[in-house]
Structures are given as C-alpha cells and as structure tokens.
C-alpha cells in the first residue's frame, strides 16, 4: 500500500473528502483535526490546515506527479534513443 499526505484548508474540506474516500483509504494520522461534538479532543487553531496521512491501493488518491519528474523521464528515454541512434550510425 502506498502512503500519502494530504493537506486541507479547512475542516469542512477534510470532512467532505473523507466522506467520499472513507471506504478506499486507511487513515494513519490526522494533524489539527476538527473537534467531534462532545469529545475531549483539543480544538485546532482557527485557520490551521488539517493534514491527513493515509494509505491506499487506489491510485486516484495519489498526488499529481510534478512536471520535473516527467521531464526527467522524457530526457532519459530521449537519451536512450539517441544512444541507440549513435550506435547504429557508428556501425554502418
């Protein structure tokens, strides 16, 4: 299972996301979690983001890959093709 961290601007955003994802994720930890009515949990600071660390098999929850990672993949494939081309030209 892959482990991810997701940050939410407000507790409402977190609760909406959790409602949609509840059957597909395992929550490992929550920082600045919203207070459940009647519980003894500490109240998070207003405006502080809610940070959730979770694990899942569902790839739709994976954060989007950065362009630099894709650029490195394209560069590696391009270098491999160029090396193959140079080898073939040198042999002929």
86/39: higher pLDDT: 86
Q: In 3D, which of 27, 25, 46, 21 has the Cα closest to residue 35?
A: 46
17/47: higher pLDDT: 17
pTM of this prediction? 0.56
Q: How many CA atoms lie within 13 A of 36 on its CB side?
A: 3
Q: In 3D, which of 35, 34, 29, 24 has the Cα closest to residue 1?
A: 24
For residue 86, is pLDDT > 70? Answer: yes
What pLDDT is recorded for position 14?
85
């Amino acid at each position: 299972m892959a482990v991810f961290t997701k940050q939410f601007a407000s507790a409402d955003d977190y609760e909406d996301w959790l409602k949609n994802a509840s059957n597909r994720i395992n929550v490992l930890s929550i920082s600045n979690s919203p207070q459940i009515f009647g519980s003894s949990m500490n109240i998070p600071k207003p405006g502080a983001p809610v940070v959730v660390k979770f694990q899942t098999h569902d790839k739709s929850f994976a954060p989007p890959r950065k362009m630099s990672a894709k650029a490195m993949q394209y560069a590696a494939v391009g270098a491999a093709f160029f090396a193959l081309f140079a080898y073939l030209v040198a042999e002929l």
